[in-house]
Structure 1
Amino acid sequence: MKTATKLLNDYLANIQNPAAAAALFAEDGVLELPSLKSLGINARAVGPVAIESFIAGLLKNVPDFRFKDIELLIDGEDQAFGEYSVEAKVLSTGKLYKQTYAGRLVAENGKIKLLREALDTLAAAKAFTPD
C-alpha cells in the first residue's frame, strides 16, 4: 500500500498527466488551494474526475507546468508535507509563473484523501492577470 510520501512524490511526478495524477486520489479525495479564495477563485476539486479536469484546465494555460526543487519536510505513512516550485509561462498572459507551493497530503488506504496546497497569491495574480 502506498504511503503518503510515495503518493505525494507520485502526484508531483505525474502532474503533466492529469489522468495519472487524478488516479492517485480516493473517490472522495480532495485537491484544494484555499489561499486562492482571496482572489475569488474556487480551487477545490473532489474525486478523480473533477481533479483530472482541474489539472487539465491548468495545463491548457500553463503547458510547461512541472514541479521542481521538491523538498519533503514531513515523511510519514498517512501524512506528508513538502515544498515544491514551478516556473513556467502562462499562455494567456505571456508572463512567467514562478511559484513555491507548500503541500500537505493525507493518505487513507493507499490513496490521497486530501492534498491541500498553499501558495503566494500575489505571484499567482501577477502571472495570470493581463497587464
Structure 2
Amino acid sequence: MRNAPQLLQAYLDGIQDPASVARLFADDGVLELPYLKSLGIDARAQGPAAIESFIGSLLKNVPDFRFRNIRMLIETPEQAFAEYEVEAKVLSTGRIYQQMYAGRLVARDGKIALLRESLDTIAAANAFRP
C-alpha cells in the first residue's frame, strides 16, 4: 500500500497519463485548485472519472504539461506537501505557462483522498486568458 509521499510522487510523475493518475484517487477522492475560482474556473473534480476528464482536458490545451523541480517538504504516511513547477506552451493562447505549484496530499487506505494545489493565479490568467 502506498503512503502519501509515494502517492504524490506517482501523481506528479504520471500526469501525462490521466487514466493512470485517476486510479491513484479513492472513489470519493478530490483534486482541487481552489484559488482558480477567483478566475471564474471551477477546478474541483471528485472521483476517478471526473479527475481523469479534468486532467485530460488540461492536456489537450497544454500537451507538454509536466511537473519538474519537485521538492518534498513534508512527508508523513498520511500527508505530503511539495512544491513543483510547470513550464509548457498553452495551445489556445500560444503563451508559455510558467507556474510554481504547492500541493498538499491526504492519503487514506493507500489512495489519494484529497490533493489540494495552490498556484499563482496571475501567472495562470496571463497564460490561459486570451
TM-score with structure 1 length normalisation?
0.99
1:44 maps to a residue whose letter is R
What is the Cα-based RMSD across aligned positions, in Å? 0.3
2:10 maps to a residue whose letter is D
Provide the rounded CA distance (Å) in 2 between the counterparts of 1:21 and 1:12: 9
Runs of 4+ residues deviating >4 angstroms: none
Gaps of 5+ in 2: none
**Which residue of structure 1 aligns with residue 24 of structure 2?**
24
What is the correspondence of 1:115-126 to structure 2 with a 5 Å cutoff?
A: 115-126=115-126
Provide the rounded CA distance (Å) in 2 between the counterparts of 1:31 and 1:100: 17
**Which residue of structure 2 aligns with residue 64 of structure 1?**
64
2:100 maps to a residue whose letter is T
SS of structure 2 residue aligned to 1:38? helix
Provide the rounded CA distance (Å) in 2 between the counterparts of 1:49 and 1:31: 12
Provide the rounded CA distance (Å) in 1 between the counterparts of 2:76 and 2:16: 25
What is the correspondence of 1:30-109 to structure 2 with a 5 Å cutoff?
A: 30-109=30-109
Q: CA deviation at 1:120?
A: 0.1
Gaps of 5+ in 1: none
Aligned residues: 130
**Which residue of structure 2 aligns with residue 113 of structure 1?**
113
Residue deviations 1:3-51, cap 9 Å, x none? 0000000000000000000000000000000000100110000000000
1:79 maps to a residue whose letter is Q
TM-score with structure 2 length normalisation?
1.00
SS of structure 1 residue aligned to 2:103? strand
